[in-house]
Chains A and B, each alone.
Chain A
């Protein structure tokens, strides 16, 4: 018998186990390998989901596990969907979601387009631009808190230098008007490199001969940009929008570090509100219904995006 890794592995198998496996079909052996993964998936993802759906119809409180649990039907859903405070949280989330995706796509694509042009120090600039993405959201939240300080913050001084205002005349994190924009700025700063990297991958996947053929046909640079570059980068851009959309819909850590949901509840995104309901007020049943509403929304959006992505790929 030749000495290969496969034969060595076969020889290493205990005789008892080898005898048992011998009688199994390929399909059964495949199930043995896949089984643990499926079991883990069911235990970690599917079971909690079903359990959460079940809890959403009850008045269960996790801090009083011995109390009798009553089924309340759709009352939790009814209360959430008629609560004007939660409606305001949804609007805060929509504001955050829309503007972060808008700026990240705009700046990310522009940076990728510039980085894609060959110039000296290209790789160094890519590394520098990508740095914010590699930091922990807790660290980013803390140091932007310092940057936003009205007395000593660098951000206020830069804005003051450009606008001629007094640096301590405005407070990014303490103002009802500015706080929603302060979290948009930080998230954009942190995650634009991610969109840039995806766009860069898209730009680098466009073969040069397409541009050469366009040059031969005397297509202008602007025409090449709109008829070659944008359509060929679009699937990548959509992927970036999908990733960032889903991530930002459940944004928690960065905003908690920066504003803690304040001032008032102007930056209280749905995930922060959900955490308060579940682990501060301990209304587990109510919070479960809230989580299911968010889950269905993200799931629906993800379905649309995957379909759109496949269509663009087919083109």
Chain B
């Protein structure tokens, strides 16, 4: 966990890509889940933030 946080602080690709991946996965789950409407409402913004983050952080150093 400390390695992950350290990587985030030092702007390393691995942990940031992991964070973006979690956001995209969460967004897609929120978009298609059958439980709560407000999760669906906020799904797009979560997916969009994750996707844009993924594009940016894939240019970070390893």
A297 touches B27 (CB 8 A): yes
Interface check A91, CB cutoff 8 A: yes
B54 touches A303 (CB 8 A): yes
B25 touches A297 (CB 8 A): no
Interface check B48, CB cutoff 8 A: yes
B residues in contact with A90, CB < 8 Å:
31-32, 40
Tell me the B10-35 residues at the A interface (CB within 8 Å): 17, 21, 24-25, 27-28, 31-34
Q: Cα distance A98–B42 when bound, in Å?
A: 22
A residues in contact with B47, CB < 8 Å:
296-297, 300
Tell me the A31-89 residues at the B interface (CB within 8 Å): 77, 81-82, 84, 87
A residues in contact with B28, CB < 8 Å:
297, 300-301
Which of A82, A293, A304 makes the CB contact (< 8 A) with B24?
A: A304
Q: Cα distance A194–B40 when bound, in Å?
A: 32
Q: Cα distance A300–B51 when bound, in Å?
A: 5
B residues in contact with A94, CB < 8 Å:
32-34
Q: Which residue of B lies closest to A303 (CB)?
A: B54
Q: Whole-angstrom distance from the CB of B29 to the nearest CB of chain A?
A: 9
A303 touches B34 (CB 8 A): no
**Interface residues of B, count at CB 8 A:** 22
B residues in contact with A161, CB < 8 Å:
none
A300 touches B44 (CB 8 A): no
Q: Interface code A273-315, partner B: CB below 8 Å = 1, 0 otherwise?
A: 0000000000000000000010011011101100100000000
Interface check B5, CB cutoff 8 A: no
B residues in contact with A156, CB < 8 Å:
none
Interface check A93, CB cutoff 8 A: yes
A93 touches B32 (CB 8 A): yes
Tell me the B34-54 residues at the A interface (CB within 8 Å): 34, 37, 40-44, 47-48, 50-51, 54
Q: Whole-angstrom distance from the CB of A210 to the nearest CB of chain B?
A: 30
Q: Cα distance A90–B43 when bound, in Å?
A: 12
Q: Which residue of A lies closest to B20 (CB)?
A: A303
Q: Cα distance A300–B31 when bound, in Å?
A: 13
Q: Which residue of B lies closest to A91 (CB)?
A: B34
A residues in contact with B55, CB < 8 Å:
303
Take A299-B51, A300-B54 as given contacts and tell me if A82 and B44 are in contact as well, using a CB distance cutoff of 8 Å.
Answer: no
* Chain B residues at the A interface, C-beta cutoff of 8 Å: 17, 21, 24-25, 27-28, 31-34, 37, 40-44, 47-48, 50-51, 54-55
**A and B contact pairs by CB, cutoff 8 A, 27 listed:** A77-B44, A81-B41, A81-B42, A82-B41, A87-B40, A90-B32, A90-B40, A91-B32, A93-B32, A94-B32, A94-B33, A94-B34, A293-B44, A296-B44, A297-B27, A297-B47, A299-B51, A300-B24, A300-B27, A300-B28, A300-B54, A301-B24, A303-B24, A303-B51, A303-B54, A304-B54, A307-B17
* Chain A residues at the B interface, C-beta cutoff of 8 Å: 77, 81-82, 84, 87, 90-91, 93-94, 97, 293, 296-297, 299-301, 303-304, 307
Q: Which 3 A-B pairs have the closest CB atoms?
A: A94-B32, A300-B24, A300-B51
